[in-house]
Structure 1
């Protein structure tokens, strides 16, 4: 039985989905209801906010990178919950240009596959009755989807709200709430999105504010009643699951190393792997008993000075690499190189385990889904393993003296220059792995 749910989506990014998602999660929690959060697409920041609001882990659902069986397996995290809430990415229909394992990665794919209706957040700033045309377009573009209702956002005044509602009345789509402009309720952002949940001391206060706002301006009972699940789930299968690459995995976990998809860690633990967390920023070395060290992505460029001074961490990492494998993803990959040049142009020494220098002095966006075929093994992931994942960073490699780790392509099959690299037992890539490919 699929838990009733809703997909919170919009016409584009920046229209208020996160405000609504966090406010609803906290409001349901305060009403002693269990809301299971999910994030559509490959975002690794928003799940941290969901966890803070809901009090339970949030998981990514990604129809480009994950096959139907893996999506069903992860969606089962909602079993026993009162409601499932999915925060969409970008606009409802936005995704890759090419089909992936189970779709193009859009929020519409997840809604369609799970049978969850859509709660559409409409930013009505700068328009009135014309908002109805936007809403009607979202209803009619794909008749297989169900629009449960609309929340108006950034409403300027009671008169503005009345004008918008008059236009929407002709569409027959329920308006479930109207949120005024709230300049004092906002979350700070940086170049990869929101500043992480763990970095914000006043986060609970902000989320409480969102919940109070929604209780005052939104029909939360009607939203809960709008949650449905009509689709039969696909059989849960392990075909797309990335098996644990080792038995005992030391995983860097702090605000500089936090971008590791929750379903991967959860899956590794369920498969019997032991996760041994440590903090490079606290100058902790990886556990001596670890079979593999894994450095996730994150924001090492913001903490490059502290990492360069973390002698115990760097020495422990180098000692481990003498006999056992080390792998880094994105930010973790940068730390394995010889130096990291920050946005001010200052070079900071790194581990020196790979012959590479990375720089953010001239930021350039690298973004998109990726396919990768390993040319050499990453611990228990053998050469020839095919993976699906995502790349999102502003760093560039300015020196590279090691052979490529993988053959990497974008969704359209175009070869991508960022192949990763390896030396002896050490490997890394800007590629964030999500699931097996095929």
Structure 2
């Protein structure tokens, strides 16, 4: 008589744990290297910092093992590795800032935000084990996203920092950037809206130059998204966020309809808006000048809005060469905002081209696994949501790295998981 055996389905959680141990070890090793290079001793708070970092990663892993056993086993370790390297880079800059009597202590604050971010991630996993629940609240997420975007414009609540009004704060309390959470809410709304409207949006309209354009009546959504991006650019003076919102809506629209014409229309609207903004707003034109003429003395010495930051970042990365100067051996503190907007330049100087390419590969893995997860989801809402969030990470990395290397103008966005900034870290972990 034949014996029936039941094959156990592998969830990949053991594989995830092994990768997680390697990821945590990577961050701790970098942290130790910084201490040895700059103070000739292991950091005095190594045990405490490493214990907190390890405990947070393991707790998230255990919750995923319990609540989402079939989740992708590579995403969490990759995010932990990027966060650990970012913390080491921020700590390295803290030591340089403190030695020169400048404001420091950014790494402990980043660790606190990491605690909040991972706690928020566990809440999301707990509450939304079935992601389809979020589709029921599609328009509620729209209201929440728009509300978060408008918060910095509220008198007495909004804060203008470095020319952009994208922060909120009360008194001297730590400022927060609500737009980081808004992009999550709007991604959920876009996914819910497009999965319902994609049949109409995919209908063929007139044919122009061999391309099937959408019907004129269906142009409303992309025009609304474009208007929202222009609003952010004009009233909040935030080029990066406006570009990000419009970019990932067009990407999700293309994924939903599979019509290239939407991408062409989106690029046309972007080009027209960018040209008009450069002519109408001095701060946008200043970014273009820095991009095109960074090494000209007049642009380099302009204050504010000069190219000093960009040029110093380029010199730093050139100093790093192929294999880098080594942790603690470079001069990244000479670059303004080296721990946030220009953390990629910091890594380029200390780790070299080899190191930053490894970082880029990790971002590619994170994006690729996100898309792979979306392809494995059965419902259209889940596919669009995964694709949209993966595109946000990929697009943000491209814009940041492109700005630092002068491939495109600077936008003010930061590298996901790595750069200093509580708002960004919290949103990325969610």
Does TM, scored on the shorter chain, surpass 0.5?
Answer: no
Greater relative contact order, per chain length (Cα 8 Å cut-off, separation 6+): 2
Give the TM-score taking structure 1 as reference length. Answer: 0.27
Structure with bigger strand share is: 1
Structure with bigger helix share is: 2
